Amino acid sequence: MPKTAPDRVPVLRLRGLTRRHGETVVLDGVDLDVQPGEAVALTGPNGSGKSTLLRCVLGTEEPTSGTVELDGRPLDERDPRVRSALAVVMDDQDFFPDLSVVEHLDLLARAHRVADADDLVDDVLAQVGLVAQSGQLPGTLSSGQLRRLALAAALVRPRRLLLLDEPEQRLDTEGLEWLGARLRREKSEGLAVLFASHSPRLVELVADRSLELGRPS
């Protein structure tokens, strides 16, 4: 029996996704479906378009042509359903310099009207190993701790699709294993996961399949 029934609406559907910069073709007609409970890894060399594809899904970069659908509807960042479906960990995540770790997470959880926000924030702080740093400002965190804060920020909000750009970056070995287990839990709870990675270990731990992108032509 095919793994994906033809009438299932994927959380994410890309059709003919193309992105050019002048003569350079970065993405050339990418087709991809990601179902609930499924994780797809974007792999490929530096410059192959992994972040570009994620930005097109996020809506921060406009494809040259092609379509992006979430839950069968065209992507529209003004649609609150879309905004509440997407949790994102990108490369260049910024934090407010004057809000502590716990204040960031509280703010996000409350902005997304999460029930039992205090309990969830405490739980996520423990999961990412930032309990001792909860009162620190982002500028005082190590690079790995900042990455953990970015991951925590995605875990304290509602989501149906988790987009991650090289989430393994700056994590130690134990952190990588934790991340693999945590993303597997996301899948088991029915979330879809799309992540770019240069870590064969993370791909092995999490991905149901990989989409390998090539060098831009």
Interface ranges with ligand ATP (CB under 6 A): 21, 24, 26, 44, 46-52, 196, 216
Q: How far is the CB of 42 from ligand ATP (least distance, A)?
A: 8
- The smaller minimum CB distance to ligand ATP, of residues 105 and 194, is found at 194
Give the nearer residue to ligand ATP in terms of CB position, either 88 or 121: 88
Among candidate residues 156, 66, 63, 188, the one with its CA nearest the CA of residue 208: 188
Nearest partner of 169 among 51, 26, 57, judged by Cα:
51
Nearer to ligand ATP, 63 or 104 (CB): 63
In this structure, which amino acid lies at residue 174?
A: E
| Measured distance CA(171)–CA(99) in Å, rounded | 23
CB of 15 to ligand ATP, least distance (A): 19
Nearer to ligand ATP, 10 or 44 (CB): 44
> Closer to ligand ATP at the Cβ: 24 or 64?
24
Q: How far apart are CA 191 and CA 183, in angstroms?
A: 9
Q: What is the largest CA-CA distance in the chain?
A: 54
- For residue 105, count other CB atoms closer than 10 A to its CB: 26
Least distance (Å) from ligand ATP to the CB of residue 198? Answer: 6
| Shortest distance in whole angstroms from residue 85 CB to ligand ATP | 22
Q: Which is nearer to ligand ATP, 50 or 147 (CB)?
A: 50
> Least CB distance from residue 164 to ligand ATP, whole Å?
12
Smallest gap from residue 9 Cβ to ligand ATP (A): 27
